[in-house]
Amino acid sequence: QYVDEDCIRRLYDEIATAKTVLYLGDNAGESVFDKLLIENFPGDTKVCYAVKESPIINDVTRKEAMQIKMEDVAEVISNGADFPGTVISECSEEFVELFNGADVVISKGQGNFETLSSNSRKIYFLFQVKCGVIAENYGYNLGDWKVIDEVVSHCCSNCR
C-alpha cells in the first residue's frame, strides 16, 4: 500500500501555484472526501469539480455534488458525458477546453485512470487498484492506493 510521498509533494506544490485546478470526481459517496480535500488545498486556486452529466454506475452527478454543497469550495461543472471514466471524445467542448487549459488536473478513481492514462497531458491520478488487469499490467497489487503523475514510468515491461 505504498503511496509516493514525492508525488504528493509535487501535487501540493503545483496546486499552491496554480490558477485553475480541474478535479474529476468519481464515486458519489467519495465526493464528501473530495470536498474535504479541496477545502484543504493550499493557496487560493480556482477549483472546478467535474461531475457526470447523468447517473452512470455510482459516479457523482451535479445532484449529489449540490447535496454536499460542493459549490462552497469549487465550481461544479458537468463533463457533458455519461460514460464510466472520462472519455474525452464524448465530453462537452466546454469541459475539453477546461481539461486542456487547467494548470493542474486531478483524476479520481480507477475508471478515470483507465480512460485517461494514455492522455498526453500531465494528470495526477488518485485511485485504488480494484482490477486484476490493471494490477498486472502496471505491476501494482490489488487494493493498493495510488497517487501518481507519470503513468509510463510506473508501467511494467509487460505493457510497453
113: its cell numbers: 485512470
pLDDT per residue as tens digits for the range 21-51 = 999 999 999 999 999 999 999 989 999 999 9
Q: Which residue pairs, CB below 8 angstroms and at least 24 apart, start in 148-152?
A: 148/4, 148/7, 148/124, 149/7, 149/10, 149/11, 149/122, 149/123, 149/124, 149/125, 151/117, 151/118, 151/125
Instruction: Look up the pTM and report it.
Output: 0.89
Distance of CA 160 to the CA centre of its chain: 23
Listed residue (126, 118, 123) closest to 159, CA to CA: 118
pLDDT at 2: 63
pLDDT at 131: 85
